[in-house]
Structure 1
């Protein structure tokens, strides 16, 4: 869950919302405003109005409790009311420093255009592309406007997916098929690209330009899905014929082998997180919250037709088993979020794909009986995490679907 602090929310309000809202509701919060509330029960009360994707909430200032007051679908009109002679606290807004000014949109647009132009240069090295993508990701983390620009200019989405396709599941460069060092660099770049794409998907549910880009580039989206479920290929250790170099070369190969295996695990986790975000797009389409061009049943039908999906689902189950049975250490917040995403993917497979559901039930019933069970989850997942409750509920749903 991304913090609302990055969106300009006061720290105290952010902490309050994080503690009192379910994770899925917290993630859907988009804006807040200090307003004077006038109703049958309240007369000129200063409160925070909190806006999410679907509802408007009210909380005190400072926040003490929060309640949902209206669904956006029920709002038929909004009028601006100004009270020139209102209460004194209406005019008590904290003064902004003369030297303090919000970042100019023009600067962000210029920065984005410059990054995109440099990324599109034909002679870029892989290291240069990696550096530019990292800069784009950091900038998008700080300023939402870059996410909006990313989806409005669909060519960058197309470029990043094509760049992934150059290196996944195997490298188009013949050197990458044999050179372990080069393959390490390629996988590092791919992980960074997927993390950047995941960032662009998060918190952009209401951006119409995102749906338009995905619909217009549906072939690109399908290619991305295939890439995410495919295991990256890594080069085998190359034979060394010079006897004097055997010892040193063996140490180098062991080092690269270990690094490649570590990168494969990191890639799988990153791909899982992005696949989860794409599943949400199709889930929203099925619920009528997004474009009707996207439906979860259609997506799962496509995925089950892709040969790599069986290996991918198997790896998800094995990761869940490893996460719940490897040790009795508590999961970190990032591990807890990943576990939720893994359960969500398994639930989607079980509910929307008969082929994948039968595969999971026939091949992993023992794992769900002896390793993936509620006592194991309770031992690993701290109660203080906001994501614990929705993960537990999702876990129950997965177990019922496996039965």
Structure 2
């Protein structure tokens, strides 16, 4: 888990200076910055038989290297993964405490390569390309007020009350990755960096799905990669699940034409259009400027909104900037601003468009900060400080009453309808943030006891103190019914598919960890799920082209099984 920037040092889940130095030398900067974790384990694949190695996890793939690192090889790309399982067994090749404490992770993926045993010590996946470096941002001195903007990406200039795409957080609310396209037979790979054998060729990535047509003619088959972590406290399985979840979400969203157009500067693979990343010192300078502007007491709601849009855009894909966020006062500022907005609305009893839009951009900004920095230990320290005070405040501030609209008699029905649309967008964004917190909670639940901060059980205990939790959870469940009981033949969009996945994950956590929430959801919606949602129709709603489809089908099946239990 790397901390970026010169002079910033390196923090890894299990510090190994030699391995970290090797990774830094042999990975491109952007890829090195996105290393989530590494762990020693026994590796078994089609060409490796019980070899003690290091598994290295990034945002897009799993590498393996010798225990004394000499070469770096891609073991599997997340775009080919179909399932990641924790196998309950006692491996016969281990003995004593190693055998009892081992954790067996099985990664099932698809490949087009024959099953014959080659001489290479691990199968190479040559269909994966390195992502390009994210475009740098700069201060725009030509605007009336100094703003933070990307090279090649227009500054945010929308008015506060401008309309946005419904049923999804803003398009730049999550970091994006490119879906790599396999090379054609005439392509010539670039030579690998020095010191790395079987390095991945740097093919230009494309968000378009042309790879499907190119690979459709080749016969696919399933293969397995087995990782045996020889530690009872290993977090490798949950880290893999979390990284894979985020990858399939990003990859699915990039299949949405509107989403892709809004994120065009990040998905453009035209050679020569990408500039080198900014230095750590310059990034710090620009971040300090933006922070200073955000923390001014004289800021209007419109000003805060535009500055947060700017921060969210700049943080998108910029690991260094997001790292700085968790070391600053901004997280506390965002939570406090969200609390104040909710308090103002509660006192007046009226939801205004400005208030809802401000709350939405705050939540979307927090989503970016969570999705980009799973590996940052400082994030966990910030959230858990003072008995988890900040995490508790964030959880309680994100929940709202989904039925509270403008109660003013002077508000027209047209304005009231617009407010309901904006409130629906906020509820989508709130679900997204809770999903990110749950991913963090799942890892923490394995690392610590269920009573520790940020475990799933702890998160649910905090949420249960909110007066509107039950209506909030009911709304999320009703959206699942609405989506899955829609007209036959209506296939969900990429955005709708992602929201379905996140909602089901949130609801499943409630059913698995809290009896009172389980009873409430069942009492409110058992009949709807029994008669309106047909398991045979769920598959028809999800496009087989979407990376998120198979995981969503399994998730929906598990959720429906629990919902229908007596």
Same fold (TM over 0.5): yes
Residues 1:267 and 2:426 aligned together: yes
- For 1:345 and 1:72, the matched residues in 2 are separated by 28
CA deviation map 1:286-332 (0-9, x unaligned): 12289953321222223234331110111011111111123342111
Residue 166 of structure 1: aligned partner: 340
Deviations 1:340-393 (A, max 9, x none): 111111111111001111112233221121123322311211111111111111
The question of whether the paired residues in 2 share the 8 Å contact of 1:343 and 1:398 is answered with yes
TM-score by length of 2: 0.53
State the SS of the aligned residue for 1:142. coil
Tell me if 1:131 matches 2:300: no
Counterpart residue number, 1:323: 483
Matches for 1:1-400 after TM superposition, within 5 Å: 7=30, 17=77, 19-22=79-82, 41-42=119-120, 61=201, 68=225, 101-153=276-328, 155-168=329-342, 170-171=344-345, 177=349, 183-216=352-385, 218-231=388-401, 233-239=404-410, 253-288=412-447, 292-328=452-488, 329-400=490-561
Counterparts of 1:392 and 1:368, CA distance in 2: 15
Q: Which residue in 2 is equivalent to 1:29? A: none
Cα distance between partner residues in 2 of 1:59 and 1:315? 48
Give SS of 1:385's match. coil
1:43 shift after superposition: 7.4
Flag the 1:73–1:294 CA change in 2: closer, same or farther, 3 A.
farther
Distance change (3 Å), C-alpha of 1:363 and 1:208? same
Identify if the C-alpha distance between structure 1 residues 60 and 129 changes in structure 2 by more than 3 Å, giving closer, same or farther: closer
Distance 1:113 1:266 in 2: 30
The aligned residue for residue 28 of structure 1 is: none
| TM-score with structure 1 setting the length | 0.73
Q: 1:45 to 1:361 in 2, by over 3 A?
A: closer
The runs of at least 4 aligned residues of structure 1 exceeding 4 Å deviation read 5-9, 13-16, 22-25, 43-51, 58-74, 289-292
The alignment partner of 2:412 has SS state of helix
Give the corresponding residue for 1:89.
Answer: none
Counterpart CA distance in 1 for 2:527 and 2:30 is 45
- Partner in structure 2 of residue 401 of structure 1: 562
8 A contact 2:129–2:201 mirrored in 1? no
Query: Conserved in 2, the CA contact under 8 Å of 1:47 and 1:61?
Result: no
Equivalent residue of 1:346, what SS? helix
Larger RCO (CA within 8 A; separation ≥ 6): 2
Query: Hey, what's the Cα distance between the residues in 1 that align with 2:318 and 2:458?
Result: 33
Paired with 2:372 and 2:82, the residues of 1 have a C-alpha distance of 16
1:125-168 CA-to-partner distances (Å, cap 9, x unmatched) read 01110111001000000311111111122x21110011011112
SS at 1:300's partner residue? helix
Cα deviation, 1:175-227, whole Å, max 9, x if unaligned, reads xx55x7xx101111110110000111113222101100000162232122122
Q: Distance in 2 between matches of 1:185 and 1:6?
A: 40
In 1, Cα distance between equivalents of 2:449 and 2:373 = 12
Runs (5+) with no aligned partner, structure 2: 1-27, 33-58, 62-75, 86-117, 131-197, 204-214, 232-270
SS at 2:466 equivalent: coil
Q: Which has the higher helix share?
A: 1
The alignment yields a C-alpha RMSD, in angstroms, of 3.8
| Matches of 1:43 and 1:221, distance apart in 2 | 45
Residue 284 of structure 1 aligns to a residue whose secondary structure is: helix
Count of residues in Structure 1 that have an aligned counterpart in Structure 2: 336
* 1:130 to 1:299, Cα distance in 2 relative to 1, 3 A: same
For residues 231-252 of structure 1, give each alpha carbon's deviation from its aligned partner in whole angstroms, at most 9, with x where no partner exists. Answer: 264332334xxxxxxxxxxxx7
In 2 relative to 1, CA 126–330 (structure 1 residues): closer, same or farther, beyond 3 Å? Answer: same
Change (3 A) 1:101 1:230: closer
